Amino acid sequence: MILQFLLSALFLITGISADESPDITVIVRGSDLLAEVDDSFVCATLDWWPPEKCNYNQCPWGQASVLNLSTGLFGFSQGCLSLARWDELNLLFEKGGAIITFGLNALNGRDSLDNGMWVGNWNSTNSREFIEYTISKGYQVDSWEFGNELSGRGVGARVSAEQYAQDVIELKALLKELYRDSHTKPILVAPGGFFDQQWYAQLLQDSGLGVVDALTHHVYNLGGGDDSHIESKILNPWYLSQTATDKFRNLQLTIERHGPWSRAWVGEAGGAYNSGNRQTKTGLMKLSALLWHRLMGKGVLSIDMSGSSYLRAYALCAKRKSGITLLLINLSTSIKFSVTVRNDLNVLLAEGGGIQWGNAFIRTLKRTVSWIGRKASDESVHREEYHLTGADGNCLSQTVLLNGNPLELVDGEIPQLVPVYAPANSPVKVDPLSIAFVVFPNFEAQACSS
Ligand SMILES: *[C@@H]1O[C@H](CO)[C@@H](O)[C@H](O)[C@H]1NC(C)=O
Ligand SMILES: *[C@@H]1O[C@H](CO)[C@@H](O)[C@H](O)[C@H]1NC(C)=O
Ligand SMILES: *[C@@H]1O[C@H](CO)[C@@H](O)[C@H](O)[C@H]1NC(C)=O
């Protein structure tokens, strides 16, 4: 199983200033809701690859595949999901309370040309039978995804957008028919490929109103898994920002213009392609995904930040309680920072409404005000901190420390994730190359209560 932490999708809210300063002030605008994320904002993908799938002299998949393929001598192409295996998987999904998106083979029935193009109509027979079986067993599928990496120039295979549009129309009709008596109505997501503006626009336009409910695309902005510079890329704030933002903006525009009924999803992400890079599937990523689920609500808050590009900050409403959760990522190996968190409510009060978000102002502010909530009693309030680091100071380690203690499965179960407490108004210290989730239970954020 590869856990895909959608860090790159968080492009929305990072504040980066040109000059680097060790004193960081994060001002959270508690009344300014920037966006809402889905409950399933961070997800995991179960892939098909067998133990024999290797890239760059590594074979990272082991027994992690969704099916234990009985491969022939070389091919993985023989792999079939047996109904018995599907039953087993659904038992697992049910136990874990998983929300399932299942990807259907969109090449079935087509013919391939020499140039990688696949032509002809999709044959839906096998998908129909599979979905019928799924419904008959009462297995819950939240969304059916059509195809994998066939858009634009494709990866190994591609299909034209016009043809794809015809096929998603057929799949939509199929879902409507098969789920007509069902109280759940799974959505259709497509195409799960690399973003190509023209291809995506055409797909939306030709398939038409309400057919593609979510437009999925894959983000592997770190390039190939054999890149020896991968560590420096992961830690380079400019690289991380630059590679994602243009694409997300274009995707958003494409949806607005050609299919406003559709939502934008990142179907796969998390770093490097071709089985990723073992360095990008670290313990840190897995635990971050888990903590995200436990601590992050849906509302994304706007922040203002001054200081260093090497500290990334994201503020969301806390999950199922009042207050906010701040995610801080320290990409630095050397800069000494200290992070002060403020509520813009107080900034407004303190400055009589005349705000200036420049550095000079923020520096004076730091000396003059120091509270999170509005009430004097808030001074005594504590925040919860979850600091994640790699073992032995190695952020790429598989072993992860939570607040300094190694986190290990206990009888196959995830141990309790225990925070440390600190006075809410003291500066937050985030270790080099580490990730911190910080919950401010008393932070007044209007946008979170409405
Ligand atoms: C997966 O396949 C391997 C051999 O490739 C086998 O040893 C193992 O028992 C299989 N596991 C499951 C769960 O089928
Ligand atoms: C689709 O596939 C099924 C089963 O694999 C086959 O029986 C059927 O003839 C195919 N349909 C078309 C239109 O090729
Ligand atoms: C980030 O790591 C650097 C490197 O050691 C450290 O000096 C700095 O204090 C850390 N930043 C924060 C916000 O704690």
| Higher pLDDT, residue 235 or 439 | 439
Residue nearest to atom 7 of ligand 2 (CA): 125
Indicate the domain borders of the chain.
23-36+292-449, 83-281
Q: What was the pLDDT predicted at 266?
A: 86
The CA 108 to ligand 2 mean position distance, Å, reads 9
Could you tell me which of 213, 93, 192 has the C-alpha nearest to residue 143? 213
Q: Which ligand is nearest to the CA of 68?
A: 1
Q: Quote the ligand 1 centre to 281 CA distance (angstroms).
A: 22
Q: Which ligand is nearest to the CA of 22?
A: 3
pTM confidence score: 0.73
In whole angstroms, give the CA distance from residue 363 to residue 367.
7
Backbone φ and ψ of 162, nearest 5°? -60, -50
The alpha carbon of 340 and the centre of ligand 3 are apart by a number of angstroms equal to 13
Cα(51) to centroid(ligand 1), Å: 9
Q: What is the pLDDT of residue 101?
A: 93
Comparing 103 with 24, which gets the higher pLDDT?
103
Q: Give nearest CA residue, ligand 1 atom 6.
A: 68
Is 300 within 8 Å of 13 (Cβ atoms)?
yes
Residues 6+ apart with CB under 8 A from 5: 42, 269, 270, 285, 288, 289, 292
The ligand 1 atom at the shortest distance from the C-alpha of residue 63 is 1
Distance 64 CA to ligand 1 centre (A): 10
Find, among 2, 42, 10, the residue nearest to 288 by Cα. 42
Most confident option among 75-89, 131-145, 388-402: 131-145
The binding-site residues of ligand 1, defined as CB within 6 angstroms of any ligand atom, are 51, 63, 68
- Residue 61 token pair: 């998949």
Catalytic residue among 88, 231, 268, 444: 268
Taking a C-beta distance cutoff of 8 angstroms, is the pair 424, 383 a contact? Answer: yes
Q: What pLDDT, on the 0 to 100 scale, is given for residue 17?
A: 39
68: exposed, middle or buried (Cβ count in 10 Å: 0-12, 13-18, 19+): exposed
Predicted confidence at residue 20, as pLDDT, reads: 55
Give the residue, by CA position, lying nearest to ligand 1 atom 14: 68
pLDDT reported for residue 203: 98
Q: Which ligand is nearest to the CA of 312?
A: 3
Cross-strand bridge partners of residue 25: 306, 340
- Told to judge if 145 belongs to the known catalytic residues of this protein, a careful annotator would answer no
Nearest C-alpha to atom 13 of ligand 1 is from which residue?
68
pLDDT number for residue 357: 42
Nearest partner of 101 among 187, 227, 25, judged by Cα: 187
Report the pocket of ligand 2 as residue ranges, CB < 6 Å: 109, 123, 125
Ligand nearest to the CA of residue 25, numbered in listed order: 3
Task: State the amino acid at position 391 in one-letter form.
Answer: A
11 vs 269: CA distance, rounded Å = 13
Going by pLDDT thresholds of 50, 70 and 90, the confidence category of residue 258 is very high
Tens-digit pLDDT profile for residues 69-95 = 444 333 334 457 788 888 888 988 898
Confirm whether 268 is a catalytic residue. yes
Residue with tokens 């897995």: 286
pLDDT of residue 377 exceeding 70: no
pLDDT given for residue 207 in this prediction: 97
Q: Distance, CA 68 to ligand 1 centroid (Å)?
A: 6
Distance from the alpha carbon of residue 226 to the mean position of ligand 1, in angstroms: 28
Give bridge partners of residue 19 from the DSSP assignment: none
Beta carbons of 268 and 4 less than 8 angstroms apart: yes
- The fraction of the chain above a pLDDT of 90, given in percent, is 39
Among 83, 27, 50, residue whose Cα is nearest residue 326:
27
Which of the following is catalytic: 20, 132, 145, 149? 149
Choosing from 308, 328, 429 the residue with most ligand 3 atoms within 8 A of its CB, the one to mutate for a pocket test is 429
The pocket around ligand 3, CB under 6 angstroms, is made up of 311, 330, 332-337, 339, 429-430, 432
Q: What is the CATH number of domain 23-36+292-449?
A: 2.60.40.1180
Any idea which of 250-264, 311-325, 327-341, 401-415 has the lowest mean pLDDT? 327-341
CATH 3.20.20.80 describes domain 83-281: yes
Ligand 3, atom 12, lies closest to the CA of 430
Mutational pocket test of ligand 3: of 327, 430, 437, the residue with most ligand atoms within 8 Å of the beta carbon? 430
Ramachandran region, residue 300 (left: φ > 0; alpha: ψ -120 to 50; beta: rest): beta
Residue whose C-alpha is closest to residue 173's, from 138, 216, 207? 207
Ligand 1 atom 1, closest CA: 68
